[in-house]
Amino acid sequence: MRTTLLMRLFVVLLFLLQSPPRLISKELLQYPLIIVPGQGGNQLEAKLNKEYYYKPLKQQLEYCRSGMREDGGKWFRLWMDCSILEIPPTFQCFAEQMQLHYDPHLDDYTNAPGVETRVPFFGSTHGFHYKDPDRLNQSIYMANLVKHLDQMGYKEGINLFGAPYDFRYGLAGDGHPSKVGSQFLQSLRDLVENASKANNNNPVILLTHSLGGLFALQLLHRNSPAWSRKFIKHFIALSAPWGGTVLEMLIFASGNSMGYSNINPLMLRQEIWSLESNRWLLPNPRTFGDKPIVVSKDANFSASDIPKFLNAIGCSDCVHPYESRIMPMIERLKPPAGVPVTVMTGYGIKTAETLVYGDGGFEAQPEIVYGDGDGLVNLASLLAPETEWYGLKQLEFLKVIKLPNVSHEGILKDDVAITEVLKEVHQVNSFVMTSSA
């Protein structure tokens, strides 16, 4: 009888250890959690004013101001609205309204003339449960993860918060303005401090996905170590493109159809070139070295040749802001002083590693040579902290969790991946952390 009872207890204990943490006692769940989503996981609303309505437009864009937005002057969802992307005329409107403009005199980016934008739901996770709220089955983003955090004991607006942002904008190196990106970092700082104050002055867990991890790292770099130690308990980064991604060179060169067969990928190329954040995501030489990434009949390009590459594809206006604003910011991948970090990433998914262009040039789709990664970001980029931070004195703590056969967004949806995320949040709350660095 005693042996049978012990065996039953052992089985129950094993089950609890292997299952996702569903609920932690109130005493243990003490650190508020702020989620910062990835590039495509934010919502963006727009409004068109008279400057847009009455400016000279190409003939094919007349639809933007007539049939598409009969309620001009009211806010509408620009990103993401799948219905816009399904009809070629409205898709062209979308491409124009999404564009940013670089002003060399301001040394900063602004919206297209006549387009006002805003990011809804700041402070809440509601804006990134789904990419398109009208297409729930097709556009799930963080809904599963947020649901499990709720079951674990985190409650929206009490100890669970979200920090969405205008993903088109980025940041720049010292001495260069980034009005929109800097405003987001200030809002995120305020949210961190308010979340801490509302939770007995306990520090905050930052949980990020993809580009959100780069913003969070910049938040920590641009505030003092004393501030970080006071307000940040732990930084958990999922699928962060620390060193950029080869896929970004593909969409810069040949555009992106966004998965729609009726869209010519080149239709979005001007919009892709204009976004400040896209330059930030180009592969950097620190991570990718001098290995050729783009191979063409006329020349080969490595991550060290990005300015030459931009000129070659016709984006000569991209070169100066890339060299002056982005390159100084990505020269080093510094760890955040005084903040423990957990890097979690998938791998084992074929990911573009080399792009080979033939007779059609850059306007044709290339032959792709694949390597390892999470389907969007290369493994070398995903694991850059493990490579570059090991042994640095500024590094407080680093744990790297690698999840086989988990994709870039699968890390937010797959049961195995969500279980690992919840375990990590549980361990942070339980003070049980083991560094892998």
Token reading at 18: 């292997």
- Whether 408 is catalytic: yes
DSSP annotation of 356 reads E
Active-site residue among 166, 374, 381, 407? 374
Token reading at 359: 């007779």
Structural contact between residues 98 and 81, judged by C-beta atoms closer than 8 angstroms: no
* Per-residue model confidence (pLDDT) at position 91: 79
H helices of 210-284, in order, are: 211-221, 225-231, 246-254, 269-274, 276-280
Q: How far from 197 is each of 34, 95, 113, 119, 159, CA to CA, in Å?
A: 13, 41, 40, 24, 11
* Per-residue model confidence (pLDDT) at position 63: 55
Q: Whole-angstrom Cα distance, residue 340 to residue 242?
A: 17
Token reading at 129: 């449960």
Q: Whole-angstrom Cα distance, residue 303 to residue 285?
A: 5
Structural contact between residues 140 and 130, judged by C-beta atoms closer than 8 angstroms: yes
Q: Whole-angstrom Cα distance, residue 413 to residue 407?
A: 10
* Per-residue model confidence (pLDDT) at position 55: 54
Active-site residue among 148, 234, 408, 426? 408
For residue 407, the SS3 value is: coil
Q: Whole-angstrom Cα distance, residue 232 to residue 340?
A: 9
- Whether 210 is catalytic: yes
Q: In 3D, which of 147, 165, 138 has the Cα closest to residue 42?
A: 165
pLDDT truncated to tens, each residue of the chain (437 aa)? 444 444 444 433 443 444 444 444 444 678 999 999 999 999 999 998 888 865 555 544 555 654 444 455 789 999 999 888 777 777 788 888 999 999 999 999 999 998 999 999 999 999 999 999 999 888 999 999 999 999 999 999 999 999 999 999 999 999 999 999 999 999 999 999 999 999 999 999 999 999 999 999 999 999 999 999 999 999 999 999 999 999 999 999 999 887 777 778 888 899 999 999 999 999 999 999 999 999 999 999 999 999 999 999 999 999 999 999 999 999 999 999 999 999 999 999 999 999 999 999 998 999 999 999 999 999 999 999 999 998 888 888 999 999 999 999 999 999 999 999 999 999 999 875 555 55
For residue 102, the SS3 value is: strand
| Beta-strand pair 300-301/204-209 | unpaired
* Per-residue model confidence (pLDDT) at position 50: 80
Residue 51: enclosing H or E segment and its boundaries? helix 50-53
Question: What is the maximum span of the chain, computed from C-alpha positions, in angstroms?
Answer: 87
* Per-residue model confidence (pLDDT) at position 13: 42
* Per-residue model confidence (pLDDT) at position 435: 55
For the chain, which residues make up each domain, given as ranges? 30-38+122-430
- Whether 407 is catalytic: no
* Per-residue model confidence (pLDDT) at position 15: 39
For residue 94, the SS3 value is: helix
For residue 287, the SS3 value is: helix
CATH 3.40.50.1820 fits 30-38+122-430, yes or no: yes
55 CB-near residues (< 8 Å, 6+ apart): 113, 114
Token reading at 306: 């990005």
For residue 65, the SS3 value is: helix
Residue 344, exposed/middle/buried by CB under 10 A (0-12, 13-18, 19+)?
buried
Q: Whole-angstrom Cα distance, residue 205 to residue 196?
A: 10
Active-site residue among 210, 228, 239, 381? 210
- The structure tokens 């727009």 sit at 46
Q: Does pTM top 0.85 for this prediction?
A: yes
* Per-residue model confidence (pLDDT) at position 62: 56
156: amino acid identity, one letter:
E
Q: Whole-angstrom Cα distance, residue 367 to residue 153?
A: 48
